Amino acid sequence: MTSFLEKLEFAVAQSRSLLCIGLDPDPTRVPERFLGDPDPVFAFNRSIIDATADLVCAYKPNIAFYEALGIDGLQALKKTIDYVPQGLPVILDAKRGDIGSTAQAYARAAFEYWRADAVTVNPFLGYDAVEPFLSYADRGILLLCRTSNPGASDFQGLPCPDRPLYLVIAEKALEWNTAGNVGLVMGATYPRELALVREIAPDLWFLVPGVGSQGGDLRAALRAGLDARGAGLMVNVSRQVIYTADPRSAAQGLRDALNGLRDEMAAPSGRDLASRHLEGQRETLVRELQRIGAVRFGDFTLKSGSPSPIYLDLRLLVSHPDVLAQVACAYAQVLERLEYHRLAAIPYAALPIGTAVALETGRPLIYPRREAKEYGTRKVIEWEFRPGETAVVLDDVITTGASKVEALSSLKEAGLQVQDVVVLIDREQGGKASLERRGYRLHAVMTITEMVETLSREGLITGDQRAAVLRYLGREG
C-alpha cells in the first residue's frame, strides 16, 4: 500500500470512519502538562494521534501553524508526520500555488521532504501550477474548489461565463485526474455547491472543512456530498477534538455521528444523487423557515375562515435575504429538470421569490397582473416576453390551486406556453390534483408532511404538534 488513495480507502474501511483530524497546534491552547516537554508541540500532537488513530481516516496538519513557530515548529511538524501510523494518510494543508521551478520545489518539499501522502493546492494559476504535483502519481492532490470561508464567493462563485468558477475547477479536476490522484476541497458551509460538484464529480474524494466553529451543518454536508457508496468525504475537524478535555471521546462521538448519518442516508437501490441532494437541501431549508417564523404551529384561522394547526408566512423571506437565497436555490434545483424560457411569478408573495430565482437561474421574469391596468399600456402580463415562449409559473404555496389556474389562464391568453407550476410548499389540500385534471404539472420543493416529519425527527416540534398537523391533513397522527 503506497498510494494516497490506497491508504485512504484502507483507513476508511479499517476504522469505519470519514473523520479527518486537523493537527493545528496553537501554543496558547496547548495544555499545561505538555509545556515542560522539550518539544511541547510534538508531544501534544503525539497525544492526539495516540488517542484517535483507530477512529480516523486521515490527519491534516496545516503548515502555517508550524511555520509560525520557526525552526522548532517545523521540526515538530516533521516528527508529527513521521509519527502517524503507516496505514493512515497525512494531508499537508499548504495550499500551494505557483508556477515553473517554484511549483516543482513546492511539490518536492511536500512529497519528498515532508513525505506527506497528499497536499492541498491552489489551482488559480492553472495547469502549470498543478502539474508538478500531479507528476507524483502515488500522492494525492486536493484542489481548492469551493472553500468554507465567507469570502469564498468573492471569486469562486463568479460566472465563467455560464457557470461559476468552482464548477469550472471541478471540471478541470476531472480532466487532470489521469492518475486517479486528484480530489477537491469543498466547504461544509456551502451544501448546495457541494451537491452540484458531487453531481459533476461522482467519484472524487472531497476534503470537507467548515463543520463546527465555521457553522457548517454536518447532516447537510453529508447529504450533499456522500458518493454512491456512502463515502467520498474526509470531514475535517480540529478544535472540536484537539482542545477538548477528552480528545478520544470527542473524536469517537464525531465518528459515530458521521456513521449514524451515513447509515440513515444509505440510498435505496436506484435512488440518484440528485434526489438525495435535494432532500438534504430541503431539510436545511425547513429548519431555517422555522427559525425565522415563516412556519408556526398553534391554533390559527386562515383567510378562508377555517382553523389550522400550522401557519405559513413566506412573506417574511424578504426580511431574511440569507434564507431567501436558500429558497431560490431550492427552486433552481427543481427548475433544472424543466425546459422553459421565462419565469412567471404570481403576485404578491411570489414576486420577491421570483426575483431571487431569476437572479439564481439567469432566466427572465414576468408576472400576470391580478387585474389589467386601466391606464398606459393596459398590460395583463408585465415585463418582456414573446408569444410562443414557454413559461414556468412560480408561487410560494399551493392549497386548492385556484389562484394558479387563474394565472395560467392569463398567461395562455397572452400566447405563452405553460404546463409547469413550481411552489415551495404543497399544503396537500387538493391543489396538485386540481392542476393535473386541467393538464398541468405541479412541482413542490416540499410538502407539509415532509416539513413536519423533518421538524419532528430533529426534535424541533412536539409529538402533539406533529399529530395535530397530520390529523388536519386527514392522516393518522
pLDDT digits (tens, 9 = 90+) for 207-241: 999 987 677 788 888 988 999 889 999 999 999 99
User: Can you give the pLDDT at residue 220?
Assistant: 86
User: Can you give the pLDDT at residue 406?
Assistant: 84
Q: Which residue has the higher pLDDT, 114 or 305?
A: 114
Output Rg (C-alpha) for the chain, integer angstroms.
26
Instruction: Transcribe 445-456 into DSSP letters.
Output: EEEHHHHHHHHH
Catalytic option among 95, 172, 303, 412: 95
Q: Does 83 have pLDDT greater than 50? A: yes
Q: Which residue has the higher pLDDT, 458 or 435?
A: 435
Write out the residue limits of the CATH 3.40.50.2020 domain(s) in the chain. Answer: 286-472
User: Can you give the pLDDT at residue 379?
Assistant: 63
The three cell numbers of residue 281 are 437541501
| pTM of the model as a whole | 0.65
Q: Provide the pLDDT confidence category of residue 376 given band limits of 50, 70 and 90.
A: very low
User: Can you give the pLDDT at residue 273?
Assistant: 53
Q: In angstroms, rounded to a whole number, what is the distance separating the alpha carbons of residues 80 and 324?
A: 45
User: Can you give the pLDDT at residue 274?
Assistant: 53
Q: Does 336 have pLDDT greater than 80? A: yes
CA angle 92, 215, 456 (to 5 degrees): 130
User: Can you give the pLDDT at residue 278?
Assistant: 61
Contact 26, 58 (CB under 8 A): no
Best-predicted range by mean pLDDT among 90-94, 371-375, 379-383, 418-422?
Answer: 90-94
Q: 286-472: what fold?
A: Rossmann fold (3.40.50)
What percentage of residues in the chain have a pLDDT greater than 90? 64
Residues written for the chain: 477
Q: Provide the pLDDT confidence category of residue 438 given band limits of 50, 70 and 90.
A: very high
Nearest to residue 13, comparing CAs of 229, 248, 260? 229
Q: Is 299 helix (H, G, I), strand (E, B) or coil?
A: strand
Neighbours of 402 (CB within 10 A): 12
CATH 3.40.920.10 for domain 4-266, yes or no, is: no
Neighbours of 337 (CB within 10 A): 10
User: Can you give the pLDDT at residue 378?
Assistant: 52
Q: In angstroms, rounded to a whole number, what is the distance separating the alpha carbons of residues 199 and 208?
A: 16
Q: Does 269 have pLDDT greater than 50? A: no
Residue 404 is a catalytic residue: no
477, amino acid identity:
G
Write out the residue limits of the CATH 3.20.20.70 domain(s) in the chain. Answer: 4-266
The secondary element (H helix, E strand) that includes residue 308 is strand 307-312
Q: What are phi and psi of 90, to 5 degrees?
A: -115, 125
Q: Does 461 have pLDDT greater than 50? A: yes
Query: Which residue blocks in 162-211 are alpha helix, DSSP H?
Result: 165-176, 191-200
pLDDT digits (tens, 9 = 90+) for 140-196: 999 999 888 878 778 887 877 778 899 999 999 999 999 999 999 999 988 888 988
pLDDT digits (tens, 9 = 90+) for 348-372: 889 999 999 999 889 999 888 766 5
pLDDT averaged over every residue in the chain: 89
